[in-house]
Amino acid sequence: MSKRPDGATLVVIPTYNERENLAAILRRLFDALPTAHVLVVDDASPDGTGKLADDLAGDDERLHVLHRAGKAGLGAAYVAGFDWALERDYAAIIEMDADGSHAPEDLPRLIGMLGPSGTGADVVLGSRYVTGGRTVNWPWHRALLSRGANVYSKLALGVAINDITSGFRVYRSEVLRTVRLHDVASQGYCFQVDLAWRAVEAGFIVAEAPITFVEREFGASKMDADVVREALLRVTKWGLRRRGNQAMGLARSLLR
């Protein structure tokens, strides 16, 4: 296992056919966080994204590349990247998209909200749905779906998070060591809901910071019907389990 480089922060960026976006987002990222390091997790992109990432990494020791055998889902890509980060003892681990929808310029503000255990946030979400947050150039049906998914998740799970599906977030490493990453079966964007809820259930502080989410200019969105279906089914299942546990707890208290 290689020694962790000098930076204490690692940004994990999963990629699949992001060749048109990768170089630009990395330039912006290193401008915003010059001492951070980046791990590109590429799922054997047919368009050559992995090869481009290797070429760029050859010229910059802050950039690393993890190649996976094929497209196996966003959740699995993040778990692989998080494992890589934890093995190298990074203190703060960030997840963000490669398509430009997440502005790297927001990261110093998000990281600044973290704190040592018990003194600040343990997880910071870049939120579209708090005061100051917004979306730009999003089709109405995507905006409606996202809003609906977040409201439904908030009500079903009983969490005070407005944008629990956000894929732009910062974790203290302790969170990812605690939440049993390899038990997270969710793929697609439900992975984000699952991990945030696990953090809340484990007692960690989850905060939200407003961001502007901009629809990608190049390439195709990875959102599809299967992703939406998985999220709906899983959140419903978790919500029912939560309510069942609450009912059992109430029943036990009444029988005492």
Give me the pLDDT at residue 190, please: 82
Compute the average pLDDT of residues 121-145: 92
CA dist 177 and 153 (Å) reads 24
Give me the pLDDT at residue 156, please: 87
> Residue 22's CB: how many other CB atoms inside 10 A?
21
Compute the average pLDDT of residues 143-160: 87
Tokens 């699952």 sit at which residue? 194
3-state secondary structure the chain: CCCCCCCCEEEEEEECCCHHHHHHHHHHHHHHCCCCEEEEEECCCCCCHHHHHHHHHCCCCCEEEEECCCCCCHHHHHHHHHHHHHHCCCCEEEECCCCCCCCHHHHHHHHHCECCCCCCECEEEEECCCCCCEEECCCHHHHHHHHHHHHHHHHHHCCCCCCCCCCCEEEEHHHHHHCCHHHCCCCCCHHHHHHHHHHHHCCCCEEEEECEEECCCCCCCCCCHHHHHHHHHHHHHHHHHHHHHHHHHHHHHHHC
Asked if residue 111 has pLDDT above 70, the reply is yes
Q: How confident is the model at residue 3 (pLDDT cuts 50, 70, 90)?
A: very low
Q: What is the set of domains in the chain, with CATH numbers?
A: 9-251 (3.90.550.10)
CA dist 123 and 163 (Å) reads 13
Give the rounded percent of residues in the chain with a pLDDT score beyond 90.
Answer: 61
Asked if residue 224 has pLDDT above 70, the reply is no
Name the more confident of 116 and 215.
215
Compute the average pLDDT of residues 89-93: 95
**What does the pLDDT look like over 13-37, one tens digit per residue?**
999 999 999 999 999 999 999 999 9
Q: How confident is the model at residue 245 (pLDDT cuts 50, 70, 90)?
A: low
Asked if residue 81 has pLDDT above 90, the reply is yes
Give me the pLDDT at residue 218, please: 57
Q: How confident is the model at residue 2 (pLDDT cuts 50, 70, 90)?
A: very low
